[in-house]
């Protein structure tokens, strides 16, 4: 396998930092508990070092790589594995439901990836909200982002991504990885984060996407109160926002980042009831 990838001029902009250390690759697959019955989606296989380890353990692997300059080397590096399908697409533009049916046999699946850091948030958000039978997500990401994701909603330092993660999954940091383990090394240290998906999201809300909207609302303007954010996001009057906060049992002056998931879910449902009352 080529040690120095010929990824072309696009390499840096695609967040290409390759992993060759077999012990780190094995520990990722161990952490994801990949076994012979598993269907695995890998995002950004690069030159296929992690893909090989996954292919040796799983039933099938779908590997989605954006960079067409890598595809020939990737296919040649994986030629010995007939349980791998390489897909040359931007994962954020792919129809995940089609990919899941056609390349993963439409069965419950796991995601394992050394993610491109410039799109970590977008990819994790997309996976959490995909509505497919996703079992777990095991990803190499920036260490600082992994640490932030671990902060539960309502606690100091939490963010929109951590709220969404805790709503759908149980997060755990598996192990840190120093920048020097990659070629070329990134500017930051990394960590492998494991998200064990919950059978159901932690709280029931009227519509799946209404929680995503409420979380965006809560963290939209961090210095503003939740009342202001509700008015701006849902076009409510101040009075209406106050009624909704009271109905959900949230103090009038609370800020979005101080709210627990339970409070955010109660707000979702109160907003939906308010809309129904108005006949919307």
Residues forming the site for ligand SAM (CB under 6 A): 14-19, 43-46, 49-50, 64-67, 90-92, 114, 116, 119
Give the nearest distance from C-beta 1 to ligand SAM in angstroms.
10
Helices (H) and strands (E) in the chain, counts: 11, 9
The answer to whether 84 touches 60, Cβ cutoff 8 Å, is yes
Q: Whole-number minimum distance, CB 212 to ligand SAM, in Å?
A: 20
Residue with smaller CB distance to ligand SAM, 92 or 272: 92
Of residues 19, 278, 277, 264, the one with CA closest to residue 152: 264
- With beta carbons less than 8 A apart as the criterion, state whether 139 and 172 touch: no
> Of the two residues 64 and 218, which places its CB atom closer to ligand SAM in the complex?
64
Q: Which is nearer to ligand SAM, 95 or 276 (CB)?
A: 95
Q: How far is the CB of 13 from ligand SAM (least distance, A)?
A: 9
- Taking the complex as a whole, the smallest distance from the CB of residue 28 to ligand SAM amounts, in Å, to 9
Closest approach of Cβ 30 to ligand SAM, in Å? 16
DSSP-assigned letter for residue 14: G
**How far, CA to CA in Å, does 145 sit from each of 90, 117, 136?**
22, 10, 18
> DSSP 3-state helix, strand, coil percentages of the chain (rounded to 5)?
45, 20, 40
Q: Which residue lies nearer to ligand SAM by CB, 89 or 276?
A: 89
The smaller minimum CB distance to ligand SAM, of residues 137 and 231, is found at 137
Contacts for 220-225 with beta carbons within 8 Å, 24 or more apart?
A: 220/256, 222/255, 222/256, 222/257, 223/255, 224/255, 224/256, 225/252, 225/253, 225/254, 225/255
In angstroms, what is the minimal distance from the CB of 103 to ligand SAM?
Answer: 14
Residue nearest to ligand SAM (CB): 44
Q: Please, which residue, 45 or 201, has the CB nearer to ligand SAM?
A: 45
Dihedral sign for Cα atoms in the order 116, 184, 178, 48 = positive
CB count within 10 Å of CB 198 equals 12
């Amino acid at each position: 396998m080529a040690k120095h990838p010929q990824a072309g001029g696009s390499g840096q902009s695609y967040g290409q930092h390759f992993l060759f250390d077999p012990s780190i690759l094995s520990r990722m697959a161990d952490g994801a508990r990949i076994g012979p019955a598993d269907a695995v989606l890998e995002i950004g296989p690069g030159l296929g070092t992690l893909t090989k380890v996954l292919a040796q353990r799983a039933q099938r692997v779908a590997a989605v790589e954006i960079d067409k300059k890598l595809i020939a080397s990737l296919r040649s590096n994986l030629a010995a594995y007939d349980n791998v399908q390489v897909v040359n697409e931007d994962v954020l533009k792919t129809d995940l439901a089609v990919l899941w049916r056609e390349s993963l046999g439409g069965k419950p699946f796991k995601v394992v990836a050394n993610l491109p850091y410039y799109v970590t948030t977008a990819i994790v958000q997309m996976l959490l909200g995909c509505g497919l039978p996703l079992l777990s997500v095991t990803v190499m990401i920036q260490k600082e982002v992994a640490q932030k994701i671990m902060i539960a909603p309502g606690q100091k330092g939490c963010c929109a991504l951590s709220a969404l993660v805790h709503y759908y999954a149980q997060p755990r940091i598996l192990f840190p990885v120093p920048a020097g383990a990659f070629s070329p090394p990134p500017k930051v240290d990394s960590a492998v984060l494991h998200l064990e998906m919950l059978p159901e999201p932690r709280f029931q809300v009227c519509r799946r996407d209404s929680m995503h909207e409420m979380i965006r609302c809560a963290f939209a303007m961090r210095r503003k109160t939740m009342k202001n954010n509700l008015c701006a996001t849902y076009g409510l009057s101040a009075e209406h926002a106050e009624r909704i906060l009271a109905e959900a049992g949230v103090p009038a002056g609370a800020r979005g980042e101080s709210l627990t998931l339970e409070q955010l879910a109660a707000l979702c449902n109160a907003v939906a009831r308010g809309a129904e009352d108005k006949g919307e």
